[in-house]
Amino acid sequence: MPSLFEPITLRSVTIRNRVGVSPMCMYSSDDGFATDFHLAHLGSFAMGGAGLVMAEATAVSPEGRITPRCAGIWSDDHVDGWARAVRFAKSHGATVGLQLAHAGRKAGMAPPHSWEGPRGAVAPARGGWEPIGPTDQRFDEHHARPRAMTGEDIERVKGAFADAAARALAAGFDTVEIHAAHGYLMHQFFSPLSNTRADAYGAGSFDSRVRLLVETAREVRRVWPERLPLLVRLSCSDWVEGAWDIEQSVEVCRRLRDEGVDLIDCSSGFVAPGIEHPFAPGWQVPFAERIRRDSGVPTAAVGEITTPAQAAAIVEEGRADLVFLGRAMLRDPRFAWRAAKEITERGAGAPLAAQYNYAVG
């Protein structure tokens, strides 16, 4: 089986190792713009040897933001800020991706920073907006009630994802990822816990509930070059009996494969409040293993992957093709380099930036 520090090729893109940085919301944008923070944030992981560096959930429309401080790519004006960060990260050898997102009924919330004021939905007078969703059912009492999407809204969302992908290409990203996890819009449509629509995008059937995700992938692939990989982050289980589960996830991954999706970033949960999630080291790795085996699509494993040995074992045992780390990377942006030093004979596969390596390498 491949090593954590062997390269992997998706379409024409070769990633230098199998250590990825998960897309993590940083709540550090104004009107969606990437800033110096994003250059430093993403650049630090590239300088630390990570193979694939994913930028945070980036809204394809203003109302798709989780908070007013979330990143965006709904305007051509957003391209230059992202391009600067991408150029810097790529200059240090990383492959760089952008997660395209729409929060749906979970949009319009205050950022989780204590200095931003009280938590909860942001009032219109403070820069908030009316969210949209598959129905007018709100996530919980802290979220605003969404407006149920019309057919025109659905077409507009699919177009917004495609337009955002085209802007990501202009900014120089090597890959884009459709966010279909964690209770955001795509997940809201395919989960029976949140989609009770009575039309062709609901109606209680699997085919109708997955239609928005499958059609959005088709629209994105239409504008995203054949030479570049397309990823999807998928919630593989709702953790509720009778709701979305791994069997349905395998089936939708087969359909996404046929639409040109190259890798599934396997996460789970968070579509409805009050559901217990079994947090533990590697708790979501079995999803990546099952989808990889049964759908034929390469996978990334996420969730409480915190040590070099744990990450290496996941790849070497064939449970996933890459590992994505979030909090572990925030704690140590040089995780990949440090892991390579521990695991490989000469620290090969995850080079530290030359400006540092001559002193500490």
Give the residue numbers annotated as catalytic, written as ranges. Answer: 184
Neighbour count for residue 119 (Cβ, 10 Å): 13
Helices (H), the chain: 36-47, 79-91, 151-170, 185-190, 206-209, 211-223, 246-258, 285-295, 308-316, 327-331, 335-343, 354-360
Q: 234, 266 in Cβ contact below 8 A? A: yes
Q: 175, 228 in Cβ contact below 8 A? A: yes
Mode of pairing for the β-strands spanning 13-15 and 8-10: antiparallel
CA atoms within 13 Å, Cβ hemisphere of 61: 20
Burial label for 207, CB within 10 Å (0-12, 13-18, 19+), is exposed
Burial label for 280, CB within 10 Å (0-12, 13-18, 19+), is exposed
Going by C-beta distance under 8 Å and a sequence separation of 6 or more, which residues neighbour residue 77?
A: 33
Residue 255 to residues 158, 199, 218, 248, 330, Cα–Cα distance (Å): 17, 21, 10, 11, 34
Angle at 101 between CA 95 and CA 107, to 5 degrees: 145
Amino acid identity at 185: L
Q: How far is CA 337 from the centre of its chain?
A: 23
Q: 106, 131 in Cβ contact below 8 A? A: yes
* Rounded-to-integer distance, Cα 7 and Cα 339, Å: 15
